[in-house]
Amino acid sequence: MSDGWNEIDTDLLVIGGGVAGSLAAIPALEAGLKVVICEKGRLLDHCGSVGCGVDHYLTVMDSGPEWDTPEFLIKHVPGLTDGIVDMAVTSKVIHQMPRILKKIESFGVDFKDPRIGDYYRLRSFGLPGTYHINFDGTDFKKLIGQQVRRGRATVLMRTMGVQLLIDDNRAYGALAFNFRTGEWFAIRAKAVMLAAGEVNRLSKNASGLAFDSWHFPYNTGDAHAMGYRAGAKLANMEFIESTLTPKGFSAQGLNALVSLGAYFVNKSGERFMFKYDEKGENARRAVLADAVVNEFLLGNGPIYVDLRHLPEDELDHMEATLQVDRYTMPAFYDQKKLNFREDLVEISVSEFSIRRSGVYFRGSGLAVDTNGETSVEGLFAAGDCATVSGGIAGAAVLGHIAGEGAVKRIHTSPRSLPEIDREAAGAIRAEAMGCLGRPDGMPWRELEDQTRQTVTDYVGVRRNDKGLRLALATLHALAEKEPTLQADDLHGLMRVYESKSIRLCAELMATTSLTRKETRTRSAHRRLDYPETDDRNWRKFIIVERGADGPAVSTLTTDRPLADAFGRAPERGEADVGT
């Protein structure tokens, strides 16, 4: 094709080299296939959400007791997800958890606690067993990255995937560019894996700084946007995920505090969680966030976390591990001059993201079947951009399943790769590069700021018909301005693409929120005009895809897998997989 394009042909193209993308690459490399990974980061060993380390891993281990079996956890999933969950895919993920745990251990990840020489397992977020392994995951991503590099994948770093190549509902590659060098890539592949994470920078938080976010602010729904434009179906996009953070710094750490036994108290010093859930502070994340939202609205703020009652050794352990999830947390407390042994820690509700609405296994994003394949043939998805997700474990397990699914797809599709439409590809590149020579255009920051304000005001934790329609009108008007977006440099061009993905995902969220005429999972989807949960009419998935004039919405009852909406003939033997 040339014309300044770097052309690459491969078997599997992975977009996003985080946890899910890396685990997806591994089975393909083991099968001797060629793998190309496009990743915005510079180092595979440190890129993505977990570049600074992790501290908990959710898994069943089949260690003996009944609660530790896949069957037991599977039985509880409908309750954990308020009935909106793809059980076919989830069951397969849970069944494969012990196998993938062992596989990751074989890469050198040590899940055991050196203090006890065994796995240290904790109960949190309303799960019906001590499923979280608490471990020092400082090198988790490094060891996974090393495994991928040992397999000799071609890794295109600082390279952003921007557009999928689709022919007759079949994915055959993508266009990408390097935001340091300005090189453009046209990559043809027999299968494509979307693993670009969740949607952040979507709403405002206390600090008002867009990149101060609980989750990785450089994951901006690019997988959702690329998949949507390619015709793939998405589900659960109406649900919000938010959490509780130290006020001013949107950071993790809630999990650790809650499992150690922290109390939440309001301005009157009242411990209020038991008003909302019999599990108190051990309720699901969605319930915790909802209770705090409610206390604020009742005028009971400020809200604090109280750790002062905890035994000294627990506090010592907490202090020693404070930096594992977020390296800078000790520096934050330090600069704030706050001592949690003596002071209450003021908290806030975080910004929202589109991820998995505070519950395990119900992901918001690209609908997949039990092979991790989306409704577009040859297009796979895993991790926080797919409809079944659950932290690093969910990303690792579904990533591996999807990698195996892609290998199968590559082996069973003899079709040769279509030629790339030069004109169409050239037009996409020209449009992108046009942003650089447009000094009077609209800065990407403005598109993003307006999207964030709209989501905060009308698509957040208090939704109603009028507000959602107002939000959609604003988001549509913003879309009209996208052709005038401006960037100062190649780095800014990356941000232009990100801000467009964020706006599109906000539109999909507002559209599907308008459809779901009930309240479910508390403030994850609270409709003030439909305050009750309505199982009779709404125990359904809301599926959204590209229609003739914008997003088209349909529903599917949750006793069926999302793949039933794909219209793809099931494989032989598929019906009994993991159900």
Partner 1 sequence: MSAPESATHNPIDIDPGKCVRCDFCDWICPGDLIYHEDGNKEKLPVVMYPDECWYCGLCQSICPADAITIIFPEEMIHNKTDVVSLLGKVVK
- Where on the chain is the footprint of partner 1 (CB under 8 A)? 40-43, 46-48, 51-52, 158, 179-180, 203-213, 216-218, 247-249, 251, 293, 296-297, 301-303, 326-328, 331-332, 335-336, 348-349, 351, 443, 445, 456-458, 460-464, 466-467, 470, 486, 488, 491-492, 494-495, 528
Q: Which stretch binds ligand FAD (CB under 6 A): 18-26, 110-118, 283-291, 558-566?
A: 18-26
Helical spans, DSSP H, in 86-139: 87-106
Contact, 378 vs 350, CB < 8 A? no
DSSP assignments along 406-458, one per residue: HHHHHHH--PPPPPP-HHHHHHHHHHHHHGGG-TTSEEHHHHHHHHHHHHHHH
Within the chain, how many helices (H) and strands (E) appear?
15, 20
Binding-site partner at residue 56 among partner 1, ligand FAD, none, CB < 5 to 8 Å by type: ligand FAD
Least Å distance between CB 518 and partner 1? 18
Question: Least CB distance from residue 136 to ligand FAD, whole Å?
Answer: 11
Distance, CA of 381 to CA of 399 (rounded, Å): 8
- Residue 325 interface partner, choices partner 1, ligand FAD, none, CB cut-off 5-8 Å depending on type: ligand FAD
Provide DSSP, 200-233: -S-S--TT--TT--SS-TT-BSHHHHHHHHTT--
DSSP 517-562: -S-BTGGGB-BTTS-S--HHHH-EEEEEEEETTEEEEEEEETTS-G
Using alpha carbons, select from 135, 159, 113 the residue that is nearest to residue 58: 135
In the region spanning residues 322 to 381, those forming contacts with ligand FAD, defined by CB under 6 A, are: 325-326
Candidate residues 11, 39, 295, 448; the one interacting with ligand FAD per rule CB under 6 A: 39
Q: How far is the CB of 12 from partner 1 (least distance, A)?
A: 24
With CB under 5 to 8 Å by kind, the binding choice for 503 among partner 1, ligand FAD, none is none
| Identity of the residue numbered 195 | A
- Among positions 387-426, residues that touch ligand FAD (CB under 6 A) are 391-393, 395
Shorter beta-carbon distance to ligand FAD: residue 435 or 514: 435
Shortest distance, position 470 Cβ to partner 1, whole Å: 6
x/- map, 183-222, ligand FAD, by CB under 6 A? ------------xxx-----------------xx-xx--x
Which of residues 179 and 530 has its CB atom nearest to partner 1 in the complex? Answer: 179
Residue 445: how many other CB atoms lie within 10 Å: 12
Q: What are the CA-CA distances from residue 63 to residues 52, 55, 119, 128, 405 (Å)?
A: 30, 21, 11, 15, 28
Task: Please report where in the chains the tokens 């599109």 appear, as a residue.
Answer: 504
Question: Looking only at residues 156 through 175 of this chain, which bind ligand FAD when binding is defined by CB under 6 A?
Answer: 160-161
CB-nearer residue toward ligand FAD: 121 or 215: 215
| Alpha-carbon distance values, 254 to 243, 351, 383, 435 (Å) | 8, 15, 21, 40
Other C-beta atoms closer than 10 Å to the C-beta of 427 total: 11
Out of ligand FAD, partner 1, none, what residue 146 binds, judged by CB under 5 to 8 A for its kind, is none
Residue 537's binding partner out of ligand FAD, partner 1, none, with CB under 5 to 8 Å set by partner kind: none
Residue 467 touches which member of ligand FAD, partner 1, none, C-beta under 5-8 Å by kind: partner 1
Q: Nearer Cβ to partner 1, position 49 or 96?
A: 49
The distance of closest approach from Cβ of residue 145 to ligand FAD in the complex, given in angstroms and rounded to an integer, is 10
Cis peptide before 302 (omega within 30 of 0): yes
Question: Which of residues 259 and 486 has its CB atom nearest to partner 1 in the complex?
Answer: 486
Indicate the residue among 34 and 40 with the shorter CB distance to ligand FAD.
40
Of 385, 345, 328, 163, the residue nearest 254 (C-alpha): 345
Which of these segments, 41-49, 114-122, 405-413, 472-480, binds ligand FAD (CB under 6 A)? 41-49
Pairing of strands 485-486, 550-557: unpaired
* Cα three-residue angle 56-57-62, rounded to 5 degrees: 135
Task: Tell the smallest beta-carbon distance from residue 127 to ligand FAD (Å).
Answer: 12
How many whole angstroms separate alpha carbon 493 and alpha carbon 206? 27
Pick one of 10, 13, 18, 373: the residue that binds ligand FAD (CB under 6 A): 18
Give the residues lining the site for ligand FAD (CB under 6 A): 15-21, 38-41, 47-50, 52, 54-58, 160-161, 195-197, 215-216, 218-219, 222, 252, 325-326, 383-384, 391-393, 395
